[in-house]
Structure 1
Amino acid sequence: MIEKRRQDGNPYPPRTLYMLAVGILRHLRENGVHFNFLDENNSNFYDFRKALSARMAELTNQGVGTTTKQAEPVSRGLSQRHIVSKDIKHHLQNPALYDLYEGYLASIPPAAGDAFYRRPLANRGENGELRFSSQPIGVNKLSYIIKNMSTEAGISGFFTNHSGKRTCATALYQACSPEQEIMSRTGHRSVESVRKYKRPSSEMLKDV
């Protein structure tokens, strides 16, 4: 198990090694061999489990298989909409977003609690304006709100609700805000965690 590698010679990720061991165990059971070499109480295979655990720890320390898929920040760039524009760069904040939220807050009725997102009503007002219920949007719908918005807008990429936090952190980095201030906004407890958001900054500037 320690010497097991891919066909190209590169090592398997730690989780893959463990799943290979599980696959061997399943094969043995299907063929009438009923013992569990992964059972901590089985002392006969203590050396095997110890060697497997040590190899998995070694691969983890080397960074093998530790790459995770992360949500992308919302760049507001035209390239995500596949729109070709003139080579003009600007960094002005769009006041339309403020006006949008200001109009939304003026439209929602008062309700108990601090729910921000309310259910839209099917019937519009007398002047055609949108109306909202006092009931908040459900948790399940909120969990996919960024993903659904990016899909309906035709924006390609991996966007989740976490993209909002990454966008906020990146914008604060562009504004040269202190790391402690960014941590207070994003909720991170360590500087190392919040520094992971530095990389998208240059990518966002390309898309503007």
Structure 2
Amino acid sequence: MAHQTQVELDEDIREIFRLAEELGVTETDGFFTEEERIQPAPTVTTAQLPTATQSSRYVDFSEIDKQHLVEKQRKKNTERATSCAVNQFQKWMTAMRQTKTRPVHEIPPVELDGYLGSFFAGVRQKDGAEYEPDTLTSYQRGIDRYLSENGYAYSICRDLQFRYSQETLKAKRSQLKSQGKGNKKNAAEELSEREDDKGVIGTHSPEALLFLVWLNNQKQFGFRGCQESRQMLWGDVALKKTVDNIEYLEFNERENKTRSSGKVNEQPRAYPPKAFAVPDDPTRCPVFAYKQYALGRPPSHLGSDADFYLAVNYKPETNLWYKRQPMGANKVDTILSTMCNKAGIAGKKTNHSIRRSTIRRLHDSGIPPTKLMQLSGHRNVQSINHYAVNSMDDQHRMSEILSRSRGSRVMPSASAMGFMAQ
């Protein structure tokens, strides 16, 4: 059976988090209730795994042990996307048939194809509104992943046995798009260069410095929206020098749920991302901001295992600008929206806005997509091209060019001028 591509999987995960954000859910761990979750595979602790002893160099892993090891490394976001899709389908089945349904993977192909076609055509949000086209597609892919994991013989996305539901979904997507759906109205907007600095970042206060350091890390190290910032430790960044005595910061990436190579000796990125000093402009120098941030941290939190982002001490009695406790996960997740609120910047700005604007600026500056991938960590060039969309500034310039261009240099008549003034 054909497998889902990484690009498709990324799209599904983005769609699930878009739905969570649309519903006002900021902590995605609470996105599903306990009864809505698919029961996960049993967890296994390190103590439960077979370990080598002094008398035994080799360990005998049973099939169950190996399954536990694989399950433990599965991406949590993928599990959530799959769980959301299957739960929605199961709830629809129960509501439509008014009876307890069988597990989805036990339904024969012909019968399941009919149910899926009706599901794609008739499923609605809680308030009765239609879903976005991409949401329905993410549901299809999520159900397909679930079936594959449970040994189903066919792919509902590709095999001819599910031609009816595939065609129904295609027709439904076309209908929704004709109604104006699918225009990515909830997508995070880029942060323009004019909006990059509105006085809320700098070295003049604990909060402004924290914002500046966070912004530098997001841009220079190619971070994703939230997870890498939450997990970041002080020891993940090292201050180094080149042979020409130029200082730079180097981010040493640890494997996490978002980036896991899964192959021996394979690095998550082609090289450790670096942020070089800008000696002639301290206000734009990531190394200078890092050093100032280090001076404001408690000495007990300069160890490699300390959290990178610490809670702000708004009333410091000493030169310590930050508390001996980590910044809350929800506050880390909403740093950019907090900055934008303080600066009066309108629009839908999330932490992902930095990633969008960073990739697009480098792309517009002539950096090839293959080199951008080495910084951003993308595995597919198509994912980079997804960011190559005209920004608001680009659209403004294009509109100005068209407004100033004229097919004729003849001035309009006085009557026409009067009409246009009305």
Structure 1 length-normalised TM = 0.59
Question: Runs of 4+ in structure 1 displaced over 3 angstroms?
Answer: 25-29, 39-53, 57-68, 99-102, 204-207
Cα drift, residue 44 of structure 1: 7.1
- The answer to whether structure 1 residue 164 and structure 2 residue 358 are counterparts is no
Distance 1:76 1:135 in 2: 33
> 1:54 matched to which residue of 2?
167
Q: How does 1:1-208 map to 2 (within 5 A)?
A: 22=92, 26=95, 29=98, 40=107, 47=114, 49=117, 51-60=164-173, 64=177, 65-68=181-184, 69-77=186-194, 96-98=283-285, 99-109=288-298, 110-113=302-305, 115-126=307-318, 131-201=321-391, 203=393
Secondary structure class of the residue paired with 2:386: helix
User: Structure 2: where are the runs of 5+ without partners?
Assistant: 1-84, 118-161, 199-280, 398-422
> 1:85 matched to which residue of 2?
none
Distance 2:113 2:315 in 1: 68
Provide closer, same or farther for how the CA distance between residues 182 and 95 of structure 1 changes in structure 2, counting only shifts above 3 A: farther
User: Structure 1: where are the runs of 5+ without partners?
Assistant: 1-14, 82-93
Distance 1:130 1:174 in 2: 41
Distance 1:180 1:46 in 2: 40
> 1:86 matched to which residue of 2?
none
Secondary structure class of the residue paired with 1:197: coil
Structure 2 length-normalised TM = 0.33
Could you list the per-position Cα deviations for residues 28-62 of structure 1 after superposition, in whole angstroms to 9, with x for gaps in the alignment?
75xxxx697xx846977865646444311344489
Secondary structure class of the residue paired with 1:103: helix
Cα drift, residue 154 of structure 1: 0.8
Letter paired with 1:177:
I
Aligned CA-pair RMSD:
4.2
Contact conserved, 1:120 with 1:130, CA < 8 A, in 2?
no
Could you list the per-position Cα deviations for residues 85-111 of structure 1 after superposition, in whole angstroms to 9, with x for gaps in the alignment?
xxxxxxxxx752425454223322413
Contact conserved, 1:124 with 1:131, CA < 8 A, in 2?
yes
Contact conserved, 2:295 with 2:320, CA < 8 A, in 1?
no
